[in-house]
């Protein structure tokens, strides 16, 4: 018969993990978790930086392309050059005359925009530039070229010319700025220009190369948008009011402009200066050098406040946003050689 033998003092074999093993495992887990968290935060910060840079570059490209197009076309009134074409303004209420001294002008930071046709624009910083001309497409004349007629006929109306618009009818030797009083809507479009919105009811005699354009006067400035951010704005003062104002690009912090003047009539800029330096010599301006300061949409993008160079000075930012300076020089196509 089998007998069970008990050994005094024997203990059961240990099961599970010891406290030391648990502590080691927890330590390893915390290290791994910290490493994963660090990689995640680094990746997230890298993404925020790349995203901010991408958005700033997109904003800069849009701002420069829009402004460059309008500055290049300043003073355009068809095939006639303002240096040798006669431009007569009969529009009423009057608009600023189109002349070499008015098609591109500017104001320095702090100057009152009341100088722009009595219109006051609130702006927190930055220079202001005004350009005027026929920036859109034109429609050819097809009839009523005799000055005894109080209207002109055009081949169509693809640009939606309307009653009260400021238009210019131009050929290569002369141009008249007027407001249509009626615009027909079928066939060859007839636009009357009677005394109700003009100082006279006739425009000049034009040849078959005559073209009708819409006249715009754009003012670019830095304003505050509804979200409280600085943005690049554009106002159209063709009608003499500031009603047609639109925000073009958000997070444009500042804008500084210098103008290239042709002082010896060779078509090239001989000297650059701000609006104050230009004084009354706007007819000599053949180019504009525009510097934009853009900021990232979000704060805490960089580890410490950034130092950037703008308008000839080194500036330490007051936050941790990303700052970028973009400078371009734009020739006024109808003046520069």
Distance, CA of 211 to CA of 31 (rounded, Å) = 76
Q: How far apart are CA 220 and CA 12, in angstroms?
A: 88
For residue range 116-129, list pLDDT tens digits in order: 655 556 677 889 99
What is the average pLDDT score of the chain? 81
Q: Provide Rg for the chain, Cα atoms.
A: 33
pLDDT tops 70 at residue 13: no
Q: Is pLDDT larger for residue 12 or for residue 173? A: 173
Which tens digits make up the pLDDT trace of 230-259? 999 998 877 544 457 889 999 999 999 999
- Model confidence at 280, in pLDDT bands (50, 70, 90)? very high
- Per-residue model confidence (pLDDT) at position 143: 72
| Distance in angstroms (rounded) separating the CA atoms of residues 161 and 240 | 17
Helices (H) and strands (E) in the chain, counts: 2, 19
In this model, does residue 113 exceed pLDDT 80?
no
- Per-domain residue ranges of the chain: 51-79+218-337
3-state secondary structure of 233: strand
CA neighbor of 106 nearest in space, from 269, 260, 268, 324: 260
The answer to whether residue 306 scores a pLDDT higher than 80 is yes
Q: What is the mean pLDDT of residues 288-304?
A: 89
| pTM given for the model | 0.81
DSSP, collapsed to helix, strand or coil, labels residue 223 as strand
pLDDT at res. 241: 47
Give the length of the chain: 337
Range from 166-175, 234-243, 251-260, 290-299 carrying the lowest mean pLDDT:
234-243
pLDDT at res. 184: 83
Predicted local distance difference test score (pLDDT) of residue 301 = 81
For the chain, the first-to-last Cα distance in angstroms comes to 124
Q: Are the C-beta atoms of residues 177 and 142 closer than 8 Å to each other? A: no
Residues 273 and 261 sit within 8 Å (Cβ to Cβ): yes
Q: Which residue has the tokens 């060779």?
A: 266
Between residues 162 and 46, the one the model is more confident about: 162
- Distance (Å, rounded) from C-alpha 206 to C-alpha 185? 23
Tell how strand 230-236 and strand 216-224 pair up: antiparallel
Query: Could you read off the pLDDT of 130-146 as tens digits, one per residue?
Result: 999 988 888 888 876 66
- Which burial class, exposed, middle or buried, applies to 102 when counting CB atoms under 10 A from its CB (0-12, 13-18, 19+)? middle
**pLDDT value, residue 15:** 63
Q: Which of 34-38, 53-57, 168-172, 209-213 has the lowest mean pLDDT?
A: 34-38
Instruction: Report which of residues 227 and 47 the model is more confident about.
Output: 227
- Asked if residue 48 lies in contact with residue 301, where contact means CB atoms within 8 angstroms, the answer is yes
Of 10-14, 33-37, 291-295, 306-310, which range is least confident? 10-14
* CA dist 127 → 124, 238, 276, 328, 334 (Å): 10, 20, 11, 15, 23
Considering only residues 325 and 10, tell me which one the structure prediction assigns the higher pLDDT.
325
Give the residue among 154, 182, 185 at the shortest CA–CA distance from 169.
154
Structure confidence at residue 121 (pLDDT): 65
Burial zone of 30 (CB within 10 Å; 0-12 exposed, 13-18 middle, 19+ buried) = exposed
244-250 and 271-273 as β-strands: parallel, antiparallel, unpaired? unpaired
Query: What pLDDT shows up at residue 332?
Result: 93
Q: pLDDT at residue 222 above 80?
A: yes
């Amino acid at each position: 018969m089998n007998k069970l033998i008990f050994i005094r003092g024997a203990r059961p074999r240990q099961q599970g993990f010891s406290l030391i093993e648990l502590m080691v495992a927890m330590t390893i887990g915390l290290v791994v978790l910290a490493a994963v968290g660090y990689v995640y935060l680094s990746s997230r910060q890298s993404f925020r930086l790349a995203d901010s840079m991408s958005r700033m570059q997109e904003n800069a490209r849009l701002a420069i392309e829009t402004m460059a197009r309008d500055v290049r076309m300043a003073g355009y009134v068809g095939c006639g050059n303002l240096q040798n074409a006669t431009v007569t303004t009969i529009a009423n209420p009057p608009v600023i005359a189109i002349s070499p001294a008015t098609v591109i002008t500017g104001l320095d930071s702090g100057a009152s925009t009341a100088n722009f046709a009595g219109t006051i624009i609130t702006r927190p910083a930055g220079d202001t530039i005004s350009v005027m001309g026929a920036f859109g497409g034109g429609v050819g004349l097809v009839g009523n070229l005799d000055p005894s007629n109080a209207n002109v006929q055009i081949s169509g109306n693809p640009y939606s010319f309307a009653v009260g618009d400021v238009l210019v009818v131009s050929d290569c030797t002369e141009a008249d700025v007027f407001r249509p009083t009626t615009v027909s809507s079928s066939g060859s479009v007839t636009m009357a220009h009677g005394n109700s919105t003009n100082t006279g009811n006739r425009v000049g005699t034009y040849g078959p190369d005559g073209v009708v354009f819409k006249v715009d006067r754009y003012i670019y400035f830095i304003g505050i948008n509804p979200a409280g951010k600085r943005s690049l704005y554009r106002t159209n003062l063709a009608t003499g009011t500031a009603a047609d104002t639109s925000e073009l690009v958000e997070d444009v912090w500042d804008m500084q402009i210098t103008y290239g003047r042709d002082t010896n009539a060779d078509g090239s800029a001989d000297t650059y200066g701000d609006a104050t330096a230009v004084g009354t010599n706007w007819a000599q301006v053949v180019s504009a050098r525009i510097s934009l300061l853009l900021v990232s949409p979000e704060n805490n993008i960089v580890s410490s406040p950034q130092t950037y160079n703008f308008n000839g000075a080194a500036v330490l930012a007051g936050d941790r946003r990303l700052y970028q300076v973009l400078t371009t020089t734009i020739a006024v196509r109808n003046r520069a050689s």
